[in-house]
Chains A and B, each alone.
Chain A
């Protein structure tokens, strides 16, 4: 199945990836090849098969509702590229 440039751009928008025109063209080709390769799965009849979403079926782990210390804000924000006070800063969000 061939992916169009338009589809590649749509997926890139969904994934928030800026791509150069060269990258768009390359991914269109390469992703089309990968999709052709994975098309072999269509040969299988999986109508009655349950999907596997987890490698093991352990019972769900729960924790007690107990408060634990938070990170000191200076540690939580130590890696922030931009901050104001103890808040992370981003370019203005336009609704």
Chain B
């Protein structure tokens, strides 16, 4: 059977670092990028005698996420120890939730070419991150170096059902999930720094079959592109194996970025036997009604709902709505501006174009903008009235970014106001046509290409401030078109 006769089946396991100040079981900082072991204490170093004490915010964030994804939030969940030896695992076990996670059975709706699709979320559980081992430090030949700054950073694992059917759906799910987590304020969505990580369970089965094939777990997928490439590569690989009469082994495979392939991680010396058992140092986790209610109260409008509303309320195309709602601060700022702007679509054009470019080029975060939504609305209104050209408006916006001054002041100071007075423009047009009688003759004889010359001459005479619409209108009238 060719590849097209097989169905790919994908489930994603997402590890999201929760945006807390301190680690899950101790007071050390969670900040990224410190010198090795500068964010460690006896607890996260796994010293003898230490005990974990749970960070309340971690619980709040998991509950918030569970509610946003429509999960059942368990009143009681249980901590377990996952036992294995690795140099970056200081206690020789990871504290995690195993058979009784904090949230179960939710869903996330995504868009696919064939319409909306509901992906089931099987569970959300909490755990501590491990440290980091560096294998290739030149100063330490033959050694690996262990940095435990990350050990004990709070992670939330979100496990989907194998409901995804191709790499694009997987990417769509991952993007949608990231948008939700960022909206909720529980995660920064940063794939590169590893604060939002994804493993993919991939299998293939003949189309029409209801029995899943043997799955492989793909790791090292730290961008949306790699996720897509890895799934597509892996599905094709599994089909090849099956087609050549082989059998897919259940294993963990690593995405090799350079070679563009997945490769088997050398299997551990002994089969994994994590010897899970209930963590005796932590009582079962009780989620009180009060805690749950506090999180229900702060649930924001989620990206998908916001997108739908933007399309309806502002009459925006889906493309615009998606970009504008991808991040909550941008969406909020857009809405604030829309209250003052005459035309939401033109506002959206500005947001998707010049405004985004300036944000990026000036490196200004939204929170540090120097002008108000009302001022941006005012600028758009002046464009609408013809007071400034769309082009000049870009300059004004740039100046607003840099100085925070009112658009009217910038327009006045820079003399950017357009001449929209019919009499004034008509006088210049008449003058130019009179001075260039020869060209006018050529035009009338059919050489339409000189039209641009007339426009240029008029604008030059008006120092670029002629209202372009009016200039065109009058030129055409005088030339007899």
A residues neighboring B (CB under 8 Å): 10, 13-14, 16, 53-54, 57-71, 73, 76-77, 82, 84-95
Q: Looking across the interface, which residue of chain B has its beta carbon closest to that of A56?
A: B283
> A90 and B143 in contact (CB under 8 A), knowing A13-B269, A70-B38, A76-B40?
yes
- Residue total for B at the interface (Cβ-Cβ under 8 A): 53
Chain A binding surface, main DSSP class: loop
B286 touches A59 (CB 8 A): yes
B 155-184 binary contact with A (CB < 8 Å = 1; else 0): 000000000000000000000000000000
The 7 A-B pairs of least Cβ separation, nearest first, read A68-B27, A65-B57, A87-B145, A53-B278, A62-B56, A88-B146, A87-B36
Q: State the CA gap A65–B19 with chains docked (Å).
A: 10
Residues on A with beta carbons closer than 8 Å to the beta carbon of B278: 53-54
Chain B binding surface, main DSSP class: loop
B463, CB-defined interface residue at 8 Å = no
Q: Looking across the interface, which residue of chain A has its beta carbon closest to that of B55?
A: A65
Interchain Cβ contacts under 8 Å between A and B, 25 examples? A14-B275, A53-B277, A53-B280, A59-B286, A62-B55, A64-B57, A65-B55, A65-B56, A67-B22, A67-B29, A70-B29, A70-B39, A71-B45, A76-B37, A84-B137, A84-B140, A85-B35, A85-B145, A88-B37, A89-B146, A90-B133, A90-B143, A90-B146, A92-B135, A93-B133
Residues on A with beta carbons closer than 8 Å to the beta carbon of B283: 54, 57-61
Residue from A53, A62, A65, A95 whose CB has the most chain B CB atoms within 10 Å: A65
Further 18 A-B residue pairs, CB within 8 A, beyond A62-B55, A63-B55:
A14-B270, A16-B85, A59-B283, A60-B54, A62-B53, A63-B53, A63-B56, A65-B22, A65-B58, A73-B36, A76-B41, A86-B38, A87-B134, A87-B147, A88-B146, A91-B142, A92-B135, A93-B135
B349, CB-defined interface residue at 8 Å = no
B429, CB-defined interface residue at 8 Å = no
Q: Looking across the interface, which residue of chain B has its beta carbon closest to that of A59?
A: B286
B448, CB-defined interface residue at 8 Å = no
A71 touches B42 (CB 8 A): yes
B273, CB-defined interface residue at 8 Å = yes
